[in-house]
Amino acid sequence: MRAFDFATPSTVPDALKLAKPGSAFLAGGTTLVDLMKLDVMTPDRVIDVNNLPLRGIRLHEGALRIGALERMGDVAAHPVVTSVHPMISRALLLSASGQLRNMASIGGNLMQRTRCDYFRDVTSACNKRLPGSGCPALTGINRTHAILGTSDSCAATHASDVAVAFVALEAQVVLRGKDGDRTVPLEDFYRLPGSTPERENVLGPGELIAEVVVPALPWARTSTYLKIRDRQSYEFALTSVAAAVSLKRGVVQDVRLAAGGVGTKPWRLRAVEEALKGGVAMERTFADAAESAVDGARTLAHNSFKPSLLKRTIVRALLDAAGVR
């Protein structure tokens, strides 16, 4: 075991002062502790942030505000969340196990690292873990890997379910640092791998996620999250879709869609959204629109089934959200 310093600050300024290069924030620890055991992450200092005042689930001027330290299980069961944005609750309930949801935080979930086996195996090369070492997944075992947003340096999928729902709902994250707060759309918070896959997000040195803000969207009450996986519990998505649909007399007025399990970050499906607007809410309409979801997709040796699976997942999610049999 590698030695490290451990700190338990009680205020955000104290936590930020401790956040030197080589340190890591600890909330639920359900990702960090695993990666420390594997030697994938080897922080010199671990900063326990559980005493910080970064909690709360509330509606403020129509927007849903969730503190970064709220536990996934508590958010999933909260009556405000289940009534206003059911896709968030469903995405959380389809994540991990009940025990993990009771421990893991919302901020930590958004920050979780990929489950790519090459990333988690320190005997393998991995550009995300060791920049410039290579990406064996491109020619190796890659059934679960991404088809959207990949590069010659990385094809690892983003692991979070709830991040997909947040991106569909155009949520923002409040980032807190030594120079104050800044607010960033969650979709822009995550970076594409390009030639620097080790840089996964736009967090600055010492910054942490303080809060998630989901803008008001009244028709998101009719929304869902569909997750397709190899088994029905405790498994990461092969594909997933967060969908919210606004209908008037059976015609699609507006729609929000994002996909997981197929992108190097949560993937907003804007082309599909545009194709759906003004169309009759029926399976054929949904299937035709879903064709554009895989524009630019890049399949590998073992994941060529994902484009077709993604399109079918979109159709099923839209049928569910729209209440179409």
pTM assigned to the model: 0.97
Residue 15 confidence (pLDDT): 97
Each residue's pLDDT tens digit, 80-92: 999 999 999 999 9
Count of residues in the chain: 325
Q: What is the pLDDT of residues 252-311, one digit of tens each?
A: 999 999 999 999 999 999 999 999 999 999 999 999 999 999 999 999 999 999 999 999
Give the 3-state secondary structure of residue 5.
strand
Q: Does 151 score more than 80 pLDDT?
A: yes
Which residue type occupies 288? D
pLDDT band at 233 (very low <50, low <70, confident <90, very high): confident
User: What are the backbone angles phi and psi of residue 77, rounded to the nearest 5°?
Assistant: -95, -5
Interatomic CA distance for residues 325 and 319, integer angstroms: 7
pLDDT band of residue 230 (cuts 50, 70, 90) is very high
Query: What pairing do the DSSP bridges indicate for beta strands 180-185 and 57-60?
Result: unpaired
**Predicted local distance difference test score (pLDDT) of residue 234:** 87
> DSSP of 165-199, one letter per residue?
HHHHTT-EEEEEETTEEEEEEHHHHBPP-TT-TT-
Residue 1's pLDDT is: 76
Average pLDDT over residues 215-238: 95
Contact 146, 220 (CB under 8 A): no
Among residues 66, 92, 70, the alpha carbon closest in space to that of 161 is found at 92
Sign of torsion, CA 263 115 117 125? Answer: positive
Q: What is the mean pLDDT of the chain?
A: 97
pLDDT score for 295: 97
Using the predicted structure, report yes or no on whether residue 199 has a pLDDT greater than 90. Answer: yes
Q: How many angstroms from the chain centroid is the CA of residue 22?
A: 24
102 φ/ψ angles, rounded to the nearest 5 degrees: -75, -15
